[in-house]
């Protein structure tokens, strides 16, 4: 057991990390374009934050949280999602006193105890954004538009955007009662989980993936028919603005998302390459979350995007081939006596801001050249007795095979000029 990672977790090895770093850079770029600033919240929070913020009737809280007591008996939970933690930080540091809207993004690990499958792990990672302070439906559309632009920028063109509205505290209770009444004669056909949901929060039944439950709710009343005038107007504006920026969408009244804090707009971006787990990005509006967590009334909207799922889809489409990142210079030492000179040159080159390495395994010259090739070095510098005596270094361009002598005093200027010219 000591040599195997826990079930549902995964080592991200050096060759894979380059893909993650690429996606993180691209996500940071899009956040910068849209004016979002990074926030970093703790890996664990007080359990009550998720009970109140995420909702006690959600699968996350009921079944999936990693909760533990610390040595003082406090109940703490590894973060299962990013939004509640951002709301807590907003309240604690009174960030709502800044100019609004406050636009944040994060790149986080999350933890949920569930059955591992393609694109879903117990320790997972997320890109996410939050906008605090505005009820304007244009914010909902910005959140959606940013997600779509990011995904399309990675080469994903066949995206299925589905939107819905969950109403507000005025009209949603009316719909919940109508749905509850509709299901009263059909609850015997529901799965065991949905029988509990029927009593606690019947809207959660709309999110069930059980085939029998899907049949039961297929002809159920739709929340779109029970919206108050304000929510109707808000959703109409969202759809109008999506069309204005030429984002195609489908209204799907079955989308409720898996968290209780959502109000009004909810959305999912679907990929057909993930089998049952086909939601690549999800989000919406949660105007009551900050207040529910103990703060003032601050409207909010945002999204979460699973990085593992994103990588899975990109790789399945051949869209994540990252060129191997090599080093600038490899120093090949021809004999033991020359190592000290080569070692000093190694650190001098690094001091100039170029990447360089040397052999530490006492390889033959042939072995060193194979190692330089594995490191994808641009140049090799050979140092031996002749080079030291003549004060000239033998430099080989590994892309062309061209080899030349460069004076020791000119080597830094030569390398910097040629390497920087080749990468710009």
- Same domain for 18 and 90? yes
Q: State which of 262, 286, 316 marks the end of a domain.
A: 316
Question: How many Å apart are CA 214 and CA 216, to the nearest integer?
Answer: 5
**pLDDT at residue 424, rounded to an integer:** 37
Residue 155 is assigned to a structural domain of this protein = yes
- Same domain for 336 and 412? yes
- Same domain for 347 and 303? no
Residue 247 is assigned to a structural domain of this protein = yes
Contact between 217 and 236 under an 8 Å Cβ cutoff? The reply is no
CATH number of residue 386's parent domain: 3.40.50.800
Q: State which of 290, 316, 342 marks the end of a domain.
A: 316
**Full pLDDT tens readout for the chain, 424 residues:** 688 999 999 999 998 999 999 999 999 999 999 999 999 999 999 999 998 888 766 777 777 899 999 999 999 999 999 999 999 999 999 999 999 999 999 999 999 998 887 767 999 999 999 999 999 999 999 999 999 999 999 999 889 999 999 999 899 899 999 999 999 888 888 898 888 888 888 888 888 888 889 898 888 999 999 999 999 999 999 999 999 999 999 999 988 876 678 899 999 999 876 555 578 999 999 999 999 999 999 999 999 999 999 999 999 889 998 888 899 999 999 998 999 999 999 999 999 999 999 999 999 999 999 999 999 999 999 999 999 999 999 999 999 999 999 998 899 899 888 887 554 3
Residue 188 is assigned to a structural domain of this protein = no
Range of the domain at 35: 14-171+227-316
The sheet that has 403-407: what strands, in order across it?
356-358, 329-333, 379-383, 392-397, 403-407
Residue 231 is assigned to a structural domain of this protein = yes
157 exposed, middle or buried (CB, 10 Å; 0-12, 13-18, 19+)?
A: exposed
Distance of CA 304 to the CA centre of its chain: 7
Task: Please give the C-alpha separations between residue 419 and each of 118, 220, 308, 409, in angstroms, as whole numbers.
Answer: 41, 66, 35, 17
Count how many domains the chain has: 2
The sheet that has 160-165: what strands, in order across it?
37-38, 102-111, 123-132, 300-306, 279-285, 263-270, 160-165, 250-251
246's torsion region: left (phi>0), alpha (psi -120 to 50) or beta?
Answer: left
Contact between 114 and 102 under an 8 Å Cβ cutoff? The reply is no
Q: Which two tokens stand for residue 379?
A: 């140049």
- Phi, psi of 118, deg, nearest 5: -55, 120
- Same domain for 355 and 251? no
Question: How many Å apart are CA 197 and CA 380, to the nearest integer?
Answer: 66
* Residue indicated by tokens 């080093």: 327
């Amino acid at each position: 057991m000591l040599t195997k990672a826990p079930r549902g977790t995964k080592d991200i090895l050096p060759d894979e990390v380059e893909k993650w770093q690429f996606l993180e850079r691209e996500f940071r770029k899009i956040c910068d374009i849209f004016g979002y600033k990074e926030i970093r919240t703790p890996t664990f929070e007080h359990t009550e934050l998720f009970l109140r913020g995420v909702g006690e009737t959600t699968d996350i809280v009921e079944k999936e949280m990693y909760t533990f007591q610390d040595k003082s008996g406090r109940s703490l939970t590894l973060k299962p999602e990013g939004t509640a933690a951002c709301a807590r930080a907003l309240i604690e540091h009174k960030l709502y006193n800044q100019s609004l809207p406050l636009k944040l993004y994060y790149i986080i690990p999350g933890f949920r105890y569930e059955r591992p499958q393609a694109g879903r792990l117990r320790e997972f990672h997320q890109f996410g954004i939050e906008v605090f302070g505005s009820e304007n439906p244009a914010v909902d559309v910005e959140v959606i538009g940013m997600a779509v632009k990011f995904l399309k920028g990675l080469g994903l063109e066949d995206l299925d955007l589905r939107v819905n509205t969950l109403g507000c505290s005025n009209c949603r209770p009316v719909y919940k009662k109508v749905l509850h009444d509709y299901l009263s004669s059909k609850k015997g056909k529901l799965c065991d989980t949905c029988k509990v949901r029927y009593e606690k929060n019947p809207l959660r039944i709309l999110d069930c993936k059980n085939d029998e439950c899907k049949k039961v709710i297929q002809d159920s009343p739709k929340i779109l028919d029970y919206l108050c005038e304000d929510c109707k107007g808000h959703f109409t504006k969202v759809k109008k603005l999506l069309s204005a920026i030429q984002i195609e969408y489908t209204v799907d009244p079955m989308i409720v998302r898996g968290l209780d804090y959502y109000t009004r707009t909810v959305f999912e971006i679907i990929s057909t390459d993930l089998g049952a787990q086909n939601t690549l990005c999800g989000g919406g509006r949660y105007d009551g979350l900050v207040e529910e967590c103990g703060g003032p009334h601050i409207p909010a909207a945002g999204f979460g995007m699973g990085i593992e799922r994103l990588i899975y889809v990109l790789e399945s489409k051949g869209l994540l081939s990252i060129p191997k990142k090599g080093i600038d210079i490899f120093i090949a030492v021809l004999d033991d006596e020359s190592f000290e000179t080569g070692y000093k040159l190694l650190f001098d080159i690094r001091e100039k801001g170029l990447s360089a390495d040397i052999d530490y395994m006492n390889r033959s010259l042939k072995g060193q050249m194979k190692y330089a090739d594995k490191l994808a070095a641009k140049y090799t510098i050979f140092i031996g007795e002749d080079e030291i005596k003549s004060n000239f270094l033998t430099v080989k361009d590994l892309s062309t095979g061209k080899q030349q002598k460069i004076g020791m005093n000119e080597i830094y200027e030569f390398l910097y000029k040629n390497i920087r010219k080749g990468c710009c």
